[in-house]
Each structure stands twice: as structure tokens, then as C-alpha cells.
């Protein structure tokens, strides 16, 4: 396995922003040694029934960054989300910073470029992003050394981003009582997800883990932070030493019962473009497609 530059002595400030419409948690992560920060997994608001987008959630993040005098170095997408639209370009436009995602975005673009029949003007080389991360890539947020771990399974492009003693796992894990995310989207793989989860759980026990989603199982309040130790001990899908075979069987059976996420169609079209809407047509308007029986 790659030798990752773990450093638990760096303790970033992590500010969470919960979006109740999609149960997504976005983060502003601040370097403790400077005013630099990163934004992880931002959300664009959409009223899909009305075809209307807005930026209330993103504006809240922008206001937080500005009010605290922070400088935005990075906008990180842990993966191409299928349940919410990214607001990364909107925030980048207002605050600067570089936009990064996993190298395998190209695989996701190839798959969904076909599903949405995007034609040749849709680039499938990841060029909508400033940086495509490979496993073990190191980058700086101010003076804080961060690194990316390739954790595929939920999607081929999923990365876990580790910033000091805080790891942003995307949809590789949920809170211990939430288990794990589905692995049945095109390019997903339950066995790969198990291996990726083990990779995350091989980080030090005290590593703080931050979720991308929480649904408050069994009526509990929304939570987003846990540790490697707690996931190893208590995660209902992989904790207590569950085997890969047990996990794959359970995950595959569970996924077969799940409905498509409500926003998967607009989310994929926007997120595979790095959060940009599809280009305007000759009338100057932008449209989202619905592929009939295409997913
Ligand atoms: Fe996801």
C-alpha cells in the first residue's frame, strides 16, 4: 500500500454545513498555521420540479470564508455525487482556489457522457477541473500538507482526502450506525468498496473521519464526525471484523432494493462537468436532459 504522509499533530479547524434538502455535509477546513482553507463537497440548491437553481447553501459558505478572513486554496470534490449538485464553480468564481477531483473522473465522464449522449463538445479528459488526484498525491492548504487516497467502490473516482488529523471520506463510509453507501451505480463495485473502507480504517485509530452524508438513522440527530476506532468497532456494515464476502453479499442485496436518488439525473449532468450547467443552446438557455430508460 502507498505510504501516506499521515501527521496527526496538524489539527485543522473543521466547520460543517449541513444541507437538509440532500442530507449532505459540506466543510470548510482551515489550516491551523495560516488563514488558508479548503472547501469540501459544496452544494448548489435546486428545485428540480421547477427547474430552478439557487445558491443559498453556497452563499453561506462564502460568507463564512469572508467573515473569517480566510483564503480559499482548494475546492475538493470527493467524487461525482449522484444526489446533489456541486456549487464549486460558483464558489471558485467568488473566492478563487483550485478545483480538484479523482483521476478516474474520466471513467465517470465516459460512462455518463454516453448515458446523456453528450456528443464531442463534452470533454471526457477531466479538463473541467484544475487538478486530477492520483492515489498518494500531496497538496498544500496554506502550510498544511494534505493527501488524497483513492477509495473506489461507490464510484470509480472516489477519493478520501486527509488534512492533518481529519479525513474526508466522501461516500466511502457513513457514520457507524449508517454503515456504508451503495455500490451499484455504473462503475461501482461492492468488493472494491470493502477494500477501500479497509484502506480508510488502516489510518490511525484517532484519525477524525468526516462524512459526506448522514440520514439520522432510527430518528437520531444528524451527525457527521466519528473516528477510525469507532468505525472499526461499531460500523454496522463493516465493523467488528466483518469479512469481504459478508459485506459484498449484504451490499449487493441491499442495493437491489434501493430507488434511484431523487436528483441523480441533474446531479450527474452538472457534476461530471465540475459543477457547471450544460452549455446554453442557440436560444441562450440551458437545459438538463432526462434519458428515458437510460439509467
Ligand atoms: Fe455519492
- Here the cell at position 151 is 477509495
Quickly name the fold that domain 13-269 has: Metallo-beta-lactamase; Chain A (3.60.15)
Of the pLDDT bands very low, low, confident and very high (cuts 50, 70, 90), residue 295 is confident
User: Ligand 1 centroid to 260 CA: how many Å?
Assistant: 12
Distance (Å, whole) CA 94 – CA 58: 10
At residue 1 the predicted structure's pLDDT band, cuts being 50, 70 and 90, is low
66-73 mean pLDDT: 98
Cα 185 to averaged position of ligand 1 atoms, centre (Å): 9
pLDDT tens per residue across span 241-285: 899 999 999 999 999 999 999 999 999 999 999 999 999 999 999
Banded model confidence at residue 168, pLDDT cuts 50, 70, 90: very high
Residue 272's pLDDT is what? 96
From residue 257, alpha-carbon distances to 128, 250, 251, 254 in Å are 34, 11, 10, 5
- How many angstroms separate the first and last alpha carbons of the chain? 35
Q: What percent of the chain has pLDDT over 90?
A: 96
Query: For residue 287, how many other CB atoms are within 10 A of its CB?
Result: 12
Tell me how far CA of residue 63 lies from CA of 34, 46, 94, in angstroms. 19, 20, 10
> Quick one: which of 82, 93, 94 has its CA closest to 41?
82
Average pLDDT over the chain, rounded to whole?
Answer: 96
Q: How far is the CA of 241 from the centre of ligand 1 (A)?
A: 24
Q: What is the mean pLDDT of residues 192-203?
A: 97
* Cα 97 to middle of ligand 1, angstroms: 23
Q: What is the pLDDT of residue 246?
A: 95
> pLDDT band for position 74 (50/70/90)?
very high
Distance 159 CA to ligand 1 centre (A): 11
Distance of CA 238 to the CA centre of its chain: 20
DSSP string, the chain: -------TT---EEEEEEETTTTEEEEEEE-TTSSEEEEES--BEEETTTTEEE-HHHHHHHHHHHHTT-EEEEEE-SS--SSSB--HHHHHHHH--EEEEETTHHHHHHHHHHHTT--TTS--SSTTSSEEEPTT-EEEETTEEEEEEE--SSSTT-EEEEETTEEE-TTS---TTT------STT--HHHHHHHHHHHHTS-TT-EEE-SB---GGGPPP--EEEHHHHHHH-TTTTTT--HHHHHHHHHHHHHHPPPPTTHHHHHHHHTTTTPPPPP-TTS-------TT--
Phi, psi of 21 (to 5 degrees): -65, -35
In this model, does residue 144 exceed pLDDT 90?
yes
Distance 261 CA to ligand 1 centre (A): 10
Q: Which of 248, 251, 180, 185 is nearest to 211 (CA)?
A: 180
- 28 has pLDDT over 70: yes
- Name the band, by pLDDT with cuts 50, 70 and 90, for residue 2: confident
CA distance 46 to 215: 19
Q: How far is the CA of 233 from the centre of ligand 1 (A)?
A: 24
| Average pLDDT value for residue range 31-47 | 98
Q: Is the pTM of this model over 0.95?
A: yes
Q: What's the 158 CA to ligand 1 centre distance in angstroms?
A: 8
pLDDT digits (tens, 9 = 90+) for 78-123: 999 999 999 999 999 999 999 999 999 999 999 999 999 999 889 9
Amino acid at each position: 500500500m502507498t505510504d501516506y504522509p499521515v501527521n496527526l499533530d496538524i489539527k485543522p479547524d473543521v466547520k460543517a454545513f449541513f444541507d437538509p434538502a440532500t442530507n449532505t455535509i459540506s466543510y470548510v477546513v482551515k489550516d491551523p498555521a495560516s488563514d488558508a482553507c479548503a472547501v469540501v463537497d459544496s452544494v448548489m440548491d435546486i428545485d428540480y420540479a421547477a427547474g430552478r437553481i439557487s445558491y443559498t447553501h453556497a452563499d453561506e459558505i462564502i460568507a463564512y470564508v469572508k467573515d473569517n478572513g480566510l483564503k480559499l486554496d482548494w475546492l475538493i470534490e470527493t467524487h461525482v455525487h449522484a444526489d446533489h449538485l456541486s456549487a464549486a464553480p460558483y464558489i471558485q468564481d467568488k473566492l478563487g482556489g483550485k478545483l480538484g477531483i479523482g483521476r478516474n473522473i474520466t471513467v465517470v465522464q465516459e460512462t455518463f457522457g454516453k448515458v446523456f449522449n453528450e456528443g464531442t463538445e463534452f470533454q471526457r479528459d477531466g479538463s473541467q477541473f484544475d487538478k486530477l488526484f492520483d492515489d498518494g498525491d500531496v497538496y498544500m492548504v496554506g502550510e498544511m500538507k494534505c493527501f488524497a487516497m483513492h477509495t473506489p467502490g461507490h464510484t470509480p473516482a472516489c477519493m478520501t482526502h486527509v488534512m492533518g488529523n481529519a479525513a474526508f471520506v466522501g461516500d466511502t463510509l457513513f457514520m457507524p450506525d449508517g454503515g456504508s453507501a451503495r455500490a451499484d451505480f455504473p462503475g461501482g463495485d461492492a468488493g472494491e468498496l470493502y477494500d477501500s473502507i479497509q484502506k480508510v480504517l488502516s489510518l490511525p485509530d484517532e484519525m477524525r473521519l468526516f462524512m459526506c452524508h448522514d440520514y439520522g438513522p432510527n430518528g437520531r440527530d444528524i451527525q457527521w464526525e466519528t473516528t477510525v476506532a469507532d468505525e472499526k468497532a461499531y460500523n454496522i456494515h463493516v465493523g467488528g471484523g466483518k469479512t469481504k464476502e459478508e459485506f459484498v453479499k449484504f451490499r449487493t442485496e441491499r442495493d437491489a432494493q434501493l430507488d434511484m436518488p431523487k436528483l441523480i439525473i441533474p446531479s450527474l449532468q452538472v457534476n461530471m462537468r465540475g459543477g457547471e450547467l450544460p452549455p446554453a443552446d442557440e436560444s441562450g438557455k440551458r437545459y438538463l436532459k432526462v434519458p428515458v430508460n437510460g439509467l
